[in-house]
Structure 1
Amino acid sequence: MQKPSTPSGTRDFSPAQVSKRDYLFETIKTVFKKYGYLPIETPAMENLSTLSGKYGEEGDQLLFRILNSGDYLKKVTELSDYKHFTTQISEKGLRYDLTVPFARYVVTHQNELTFPFRRYQIQPVWRADRPQKGRYREFYQCDADVVGADSLLNEAELLEMADEIYAKLGLKVVVKINSRKVLQGLAQKVGQPDKMVDITVAIDKLDKIGWEGVEKELAKREITPEGIAQIQNFIEHAQDLPFLQDFFAGIDVAAQGLAEVETVFTALKEIELTNKIEFDATLARGLGYYTGCIFEVKSLEAQMGSIGGGGRYDDLTGIFGMKGYSGVGISFGVERIYDIMEELQLFPAEAIESTQIMVLGFDEKARLFAIPLLRKLREAGIRAELYTENKKIQKQLDYVNKRQIRYALLIGENEMQNQVYTLKDMQASEQHTLDVAQIIAKLTAN
């Protein structure tokens, strides 16, 4: 018999893990709502025509494609051309991220929306990536975007919101900010403006493969030796704004990008932030739809890749026929955030919402007697369970201990007659005789 298992890059979650994840989602969601963002949901699958070509060359290769139903090979005419072949047998794919589906949603529902439109979305996405620490094939994203708004104050507010979320979660992070226009200017600086994507993809790997690896990548992508030298000079002064202003003299698009970053910093100048936000011109973010400011979040306390990021996309809705609606958004990598919080033991005890009290009956008559009593406990907001099986009382107490439930309420003949009950505190190893009102007062006070 084959041993059951989950597909590579996916996971099961225990009750304790789900409770912690819910705490994480609720913390983020509460801040999203505070800043005026509204919830939406989109389907797990989208048409491949919606997804393809939006994530860069490498991103397209990581799309999970869904086979057409029925006799999907019937219309296949060519097997040797992989790209053409897949379009004949697959018309849909699983969501790669939440931003492109959001753009599609905006275009689909444009007559129902009021712009600027702010939305948040918390749903799973899928990527056919190689699983490793902090990287899964199925994972949740938490996104907040505003579309139909050009002002850079939106970038500043998203960064302020992100700072508040990470502070509430107890995480120490650094937020790096750049502009794709700076990278576009770099391609012009090296005299190969048509190679912007190649240069960006290579620089995006700097943290993983170092300068030597990036240099090889650039050469492989046919960047000239002179251009590579210019890029190296650029990287060595990536946080030196005055140097870069001179470096890009006469290149308007780069100057515009640097000015936009300065505008965001100016907007945040009077805000007391918990975490550090810094300029880094090497920040690339490989997704193909970014056009302006981009940002990325990294933990200062754990060895982990990016745990959040986002940026400005000037015409993503235009791909779907709705021109002139600029947007900007941020995404929180909740799977990596979860792993870091587990590693650092940052989840509060109340994040694991388990049963507070287990009611134990000595016999079936006592268990029936307990039903209206349970109702009173639950109406008082107490999480209460009844042990329904006919087991000896010690077996029932063992079950309470294994479940790590703090209180056990014992009901026997005397308790039913006098309507006072034995309440055992399993942690403190003590017990009290109390009536229902006293039990409710004790449990709601803790």
Structure 2
Amino acid sequence: MKQSIPKGTRDFSSTEVAKRNYIFSVVKKSFENFGFQPIETPSFENSSTLMGKYGDEGDRLIFKILNSGDFLNKVESKLLVEKNSKKITSQICDKALRYDLTVPFARYVVQHQNEITFPFKRYQIQPVWRADRPQKGRFREFYQCDADVVGSSSLLQEVEFVQLYDAVFDRLGLKGTTIKLNNRKILSGIVEVIGAKSKLVDFTVALDKLDKIGKEGVVAEMLEKGISQIAIDKVAPLFNFKGTNEDKLTSLEQMLIDSEEGLKGVEELKFIVKSIKELGLFSASLEIDVTLARGLNYYTGAIYEVVAPKEVKIGSIGGGGRYDDLTGIFGLQNVSGVGISFGLDRIYLVMEELGLFKKVELPKPKILFLNFDESESLEKVKAVKTLRENDIKSEIYPDIASSNKQQKKQWKYATTREIHFVVTSIKDNKLTIKNMQTGEQSFLAIHQLIDLVK
């Protein structure tokens, strides 16, 4: 049988892992530079922790884990006959793979609230899983790199996250990214003034798909969800909002004149835009996008989405926002939070396409001992031990070369792995060493080799 892996998952070669680790290191360094500290949570949570936090579409994409043992034994026969998958699932699956890192983080904050100093700034770099349809830049297993602050409602946090996005992408050499910004209060205000307040979730879920399905697709979905054509006509200007950030904010003020909540959202965006204008950005641009909705129910304030440079068509490479009520669903009230996420896998694809990876150094030994003479093998192993004790990466080729062909194989191994120094023999405590970069040969004691390498 031909071997394969599940759709939406990938194997990574040593080179790919090294490139991914490079991105991780830049993101991690930036997180810590901004004062965030690391935590980790389990790869799977109780289903009750995750379900109902992402809206119907999110719930559908959560990977459920079957209970151990005879999981069908406790299901009512009536449900089995009806083939009601939703009701059956709740009885046979009480755990699920995490869909993102934000909801598990909210659970963590509530569970460990007596151990945490607020405001709590955490970062988390771990894989998540979604039962989505695989396509370019969209996987079923992928890494998220999240940074969140809980316990502060200050808009300075929103300003810092714009700076953090800019700092990371600038350090990666990814110039020309666009940080899109909106506010859920503005969206709430819009549905209020068009008389569709009860349809906020349907409105935002549809609007969030504008880049994917276009204006006609969004309108069709809104109509299907029960939003009237009259209401849709009132928001038509949103689809073609133009001008500077200040122009857009002025237009929104006029549109939302009768919505207190909507105007509050405008004021919050004004503060962020003005602050960033004074602080400046390295290479990213900040853009108000009134169609940005992010289809997650827990956002309550500012929302972000980062778009790759125009020459790469891959969708968003980051996103996030303010959530004032998320810990409340787990019993901890009045703890405001805001956070962002970096989509590592998409960032990798963008950097690969733009040729932004410098030569990545793969983990390899600095010194390789060839194994041509069995009588010298133990002495070479001792030398390798000494080198490792001095933090010099070293290894010995494991198999004895009993023929000229096998010796050539060992030399080829050294060349292919781009080893710097090769030791061929040890006699009278002197090592015969070849510098593979210059071709120069020398005879050194072990302490002299250590000095040479260091």
User: Which residue in 1 is equivalent to 2:407?
Assistant: 393
Shifted more, 266-275 versus 375-384: the winner is 375-384
Equivalent of 1:184 in 151, 168, 188: 188
User: Which residue in 1 is equivalent to 2:20?
Assistant: 21
- One-letter code of the match for 1:310? G
Equivalent of 1:215 in 201, 216, 219: 219
Shift of 1:422: 2.5
**1:264-306: CA deviation from partner (whole Å, max 9, x where unpaired):** 1233233231211111111111111100000011110421111
Please list every run of 5 or more consecutive structure 2 residues that lacks an aligned counterpart in the other structure: none
Matched, 1:370 2:380: yes
Q: 1:121-200, aligned counterparts within 5 Å?
A: 121-172=124-175, 173-200=177-204
Equivalent of 1:233 in 234, 237, 247: 237
Residues 1:344 and 1:372: Cα distance change in structure 2 (over 3 Å): farther
**1:108-160: CA deviation from partner (whole Å, max 9, x where unpaired):** 11111111111111111110000111111111111110111110101111121
Equivalent of 1:245 in 231, 249, 253: 253
Matched, 1:411 2:410: no
The 8 Å contact of residues 364 and 419 in structure 2, kept in 1 or not, is answered as no
Equivalent of 1:354 in 356, 361, 364: 364
Residues 1:443 and 1:299: Cα distance change in structure 2 (over 3 Å): farther
Shift of 1:366: 2.5
- One-letter code of the match for 2:148? D
Shift of 1:226: 1.4
User: Which residue in 1 is equivalent to 2:111?
Assistant: 108
The 8 Å contact of residues 234 and 244 in structure 1, kept in 2 or not, is answered as no
The 8 Å contact of residues 184 and 299 in structure 2, kept in 1 or not, is answered as yes
User: Which residue in 1 is equivalent to 2:273?
Assistant: 265
- One-letter code of the match for 2:156? L
Shift of 1:372: 3.3
The 8 Å contact of residues 15 and 360 in structure 2, kept in 1 or not, is answered as no
The 8 Å contact of residues 193 and 258 in structure 2, kept in 1 or not, is answered as no
The 8 Å contact of residues 355 and 405 in structure 1, kept in 2 or not, is answered as no
Shift of 1:341: 1.8
User: Which residue in 2 is equivalent to 1:307?
Assistant: 317
Q: What CA distance in whole angstroms lies between the structure 2 residues aligned with 1:419 and 1:359?
A: 13
- One-letter code of the match for 1:287? L
Instruction: Give the superposed CA RMSD.
Output: 1.8
**1:387-416: CA deviation from partner (whole Å, max 9, x where unpaired):** 1211232220012223x323241322xx42
Indicate the percent of aligned positions where both proteins have the same amino acid: 49
Residues 1:178 and 1:442: Cα distance change in structure 2 (over 3 Å): farther
Q: What CA distance in whole angstroms lies between the structure 2 residues aligned with 1:328 and 1:216?
A: 32
Q: What CA distance in whole angstroms lies between the structure 1 residues aligned with 2:166 and 2:377?
A: 51
Shifted more, 133-142 versus 240-249: the winner is 240-249
User: Which residue in 1 is equivalent to 2:442?
Assistant: 433
**1:170-203: CA deviation from partner (whole Å, max 9, x where unpaired):** 1121111110111111111211101111111111
Q: What CA distance in whole angstroms lies between the structure 2 residues aligned with 1:379 and 1:350?
A: 26
The 8 Å contact of residues 174 and 298 in structure 1, kept in 2 or not, is answered as yes
User: Which residue in 1 is equivalent to 2:334?
Assistant: 324
Shifted more, 363-372 versus 228-237: the winner is 363-372
The 8 Å contact of residues 142 and 334 in structure 1, kept in 2 or not, is answered as yes
Shift of 1:253: 1.0
- One-letter code of the match for 1:278? E
Task: Report the count of equivalent residues.
Answer: 438
The 8 Å contact of residues 245 and 258 in structure 1, kept in 2 or not, is answered as yes
- One-letter code of the match for 1:18? V
Shift of 1:224: 1.1
Shift of 1:383: 2.3
User: Which residue in 2 is equivalent to 1:118?
Assistant: 121
Residues 1:332 and 1:434: Cα distance change in structure 2 (over 3 Å): farther
User: Which residue in 1 is equivalent to 2:71?
Assistant: 72
SS in 1 for 2:279: coil
TM-score normalised by L of structure 2? 0.92
- One-letter code of the match for 2:63? F
Q: What CA distance in whole angstroms lies between the structure 2 residues aligned with 1:280 and 1:442?
A: 58
Shifted more, 386-395 versus 152-161: the winner is 386-395
Q: What CA distance in whole angstroms lies between the structure 1 residues aligned with 2:409 and 2:255?
A: 76
Q: What CA distance in whole angstroms lies between the structure 2 residues aligned with 1:141 and 1:405?
A: 33
Q: What CA distance in whole angstroms lies between the structure 1 residues aligned with 2:273 and 2:392?
A: 47
Shift of 1:347: 2.3
The 8 Å contact of residues 121 and 144 in structure 1, kept in 2 or not, is answered as yes
Shifted more, 372-381 versus 275-284: the winner is 372-381
- One-letter code of the match for 1:128? A
User: Which residue in 2 is equivalent to 1:32?
Assistant: 31
SS in 2 for 1:29: helix
Residues 1:441 and 1:344: Cα distance change in structure 2 (over 3 Å): farther
Q: What CA distance in whole angstroms lies between the structure 1 residues aligned with 2:350 and 2:9?
A: 18
Matched, 1:97 2:111: no
- One-letter code of the match for 1:40? I
Shifted more, 338-347 versus 153-162: the winner is 338-347
